[in-house]
Amino acid sequence: MVQSAGINGDLVAADKKIVVDGNNFLQVGALVYRLQKGAVEFLLITSRGTGRWIIPKGWPMPGRTLSQAALQEAYEEAGVRGIVEIASIGSYQYTKNDMPGGENGNFSVDVFAVLYSHQEKKWPERGQRIFEWVTPEEAAKRVVEPQLKKLLLDYRPR
């Protein structure tokens, strides 16, 4: 089981930038899933910067819980509406090499499962990313982060 950063999903963020584990910035991610003929499919999107496959993710949002922020990221980046689980299902770490000022940033992403309801016709980042529904195995092949691969392969809807 992949561990979360240890922050409860119903915590209300007071700040956008939260540091965990000493030097990692906390982000929230949405593992959006649906059931097709009894089989789980995950929604992957591409990063705007590198074009690699990722899950919707972003910064905590002041005044919102971490799980609410994850659901908001799913909407902003992929137009997704759904039901978010309050508890994190795990976390993964990554390093971003294209931070402003040429710095590297280390991130810990707490992931929240989102049961897909529907996709809006318009959303803030429409046209800026590619999105695709894929099997857990295909999703694990496409993402780079080993801990995210494990989350994708291990997750079972409740």
Sole residue written with tokens 């993964």:
92
User: How large a percentage of the chain has pLDDT more than 90?
Assistant: 72
Residue 15: C-alpha distances to residues 9, 123, 158 (Å): 15, 24, 31
What structural domains and CATH numbers belong to the chain? Answer: 19-154 (3.90.79.10)
- pLDDT classification of 148: cutoffs 50, 70, 90: very high
Contact predicate 76/131, CB 8 Å: no
Contact predicate 143/44, CB 8 Å: yes
Q: What is the pLDDT of residue 90?
A: 96
CA 130, 132, 137, 140 torsion-angle sign:
positive
- pLDDT classification of 20: cutoffs 50, 70, 90: low
User: Which of these ranges, 5-14, 19-28, 39-48, 113-122, has the smallest mean pLDDT?
Assistant: 5-14
pLDDT in tens, 77-136: 999 999 999 999 999 999 877 666 666 788 999 999 999 999 999 999 998 999 999 999
